[in-house]
Structure 1
Amino acid sequence: MARPRVTTKTKIFRIEIVLVDVEPTVRRVVEVPGEASLAVLHEVVQDAMGWTNSHLHEFEIDGVRYGMPDPDFDTGTLDEARTKLFRVLTAGQDAGYVYDFGDNWHHVLVVDAVAAPEPGVRYPRCVEGQGACPPEDVGGVFGYPEFVDALTDPEHAEHVERVEWWGSDRFDPHYFDLAATDRTLERLAWAPLAGSSPTARS
């Protein structure tokens, strides 16, 4: 299947993603073509944050829920694959995104700006970030700090159990690698607008 193509008419949405009620702060800033569907935005959030897409998810925008509708149940959830980003969000607007209805990770997505694409630049891309993504199945915002405490404290009653579960006694909640995070989005790349990237110019 041919890759979607960025054109001169494409609008690029700069979106800040923040994981709610988690310390230290976990945030990413991504740039996504406005014609991308919410299903693609879901994949961008997963890759940029560092999740593994192993659980259910849902967007909420202006009180409307978007996700993967269940054909056997009418839940009122609209199909994210049929909903384009530019049709439901504008500059300054925010959206909710929940991942894993068990651990219940809440994210706030804020459209910081909508701008023209840069020639030669690959979109989607991650341009900023901080903080490590919590491990999957760690117990949400309440289980996460307990996991970090138990893992880093050899005297903690659950230290051995947590090390065995995680496979190591190392986890830095402040760690973030922008280059590595951005590389995860290469699989979603649109064909860029013709021209040279500003970073490639002398």
Structure 2
Amino acid sequence: MNGSSAPSIIQLKAVISGISPMIWRRFLVTADTTIAQLHYILQIAFGWTDEYLHRFVIHAKPYGIHHIGGEWFSDDANTVTLLDLGLRVREKFLYEYNFFDNWQVQLRVEKITEFEAEQTYPVCIEGKRNGPIEDCGGAWAFQELRQEFSEASVAYRMAKILVNDEITQRRGELRQLSYWLLLDRLDLRKLNQRLQQSPLSEDPAFREEIIFIDT
């Protein structure tokens, strides 16, 4: 997304509501980033799969990519940019994803700075914890699962699987256990590789790639 026109850079902080300790990201995007591109950035940032409907609410107006059976938006998310929205420092807006689980991500404009030619955009510069897994039931359910899958209980269950030589039969369970064991170990390097290697577009082949961030 680098360009010769040198657009300004917006520093955003995204926090998932209703979860403690917080799951959050701080990233830099160019001001000419479209609403559609910001949607895909957030999907990658939190390791989601883009399988569900979403919307932004900015200045009390909904924005998003229209899907059959979903909300209709008056503006094209592929052409409306952050610059068009006239966002200011300290201004907040909302991103909602998966209306069944009702994930709500609060976004805040922290800074508007100058473009740096040596930097690749978008880039996540800071964050804590891997994003919540899909279809877990939302923030409250995620909190309950977090208690159930404590580090001690997960380590015990994994050790039992290994001792009983059940790795092949329990691959799905091991993947789930690994997620909870590594929940607090966000891999920024890998996250940014995905941001930089994936075209931020509606290409279905791209959407297949924005799955759970492997750990």
Instruction: Write the distance in 2 (CA, Å) between the matches of 1:72 and 1:6.
Output: 36
Candidates 117, 122, 126, aligned match of 1:124 = 122
Match of 1:102 in 2: 100
Instruction: Write the distance in 1 (CA, Å) between the matches of 2:79 and 2:130.
Output: 31
| Alignment pair present for 1:56 and 2:85 | no
Mean CA deviation greater in 174-183 or 32-41: 174-183
Matched-pair contact (CA < 8 Å) for 2:46–2:132: no
Report the AA paired with residue 130 of structure 1.
K
How many angstroms does 1:167 deviate by? 3.8
Match of 1:160 in 2: none
Q: For residues 78-104 of structure 1, what are the alpha-carbon distances to aligned partners after superposition, in whole Å with 9 as ceiling and x for unaligned?
A: 332221111112222111000111101
| Alignment pair present for 1:179 and 2:176 | no
Using the size of structure 2 for normalisation, the TM-score is: 0.74
How many angstroms does 1:165 deviate by? 5.7
Distance 1:16 1:186, change over 3 A: same
Gaps of 5+ in 1: 156-162, 191-202
Report the AA paired with residue 52 of structure 1.
T
How many angstroms does 1:130 deviate by? 0.7
Identical pairs, percent: 25
Supply the RMSD in Å over aligned alpha carbons. Answer: 2.8
Using the size of structure 1 for normalisation, the TM-score is: 0.79
Instruction: Name the count of aligned residue pairs.
Output: 182
Match of 2:7 in 1: 10
Gaps of 5+ in 2: 157-170, 201-215
Matched-pair contact (CA < 8 Å) for 2:2–2:121: no
Report the AA paired with residue 178 of structure 1.
L
Report the AA paired with residue 177 of structure 2.
D
Match of 2:40 in 1: 43
How many angstroms does 1:36 deviate by? 1.3
Match of 1:169 in 2: 177
Q: Secondary structure at the match of 2:139?
A: helix
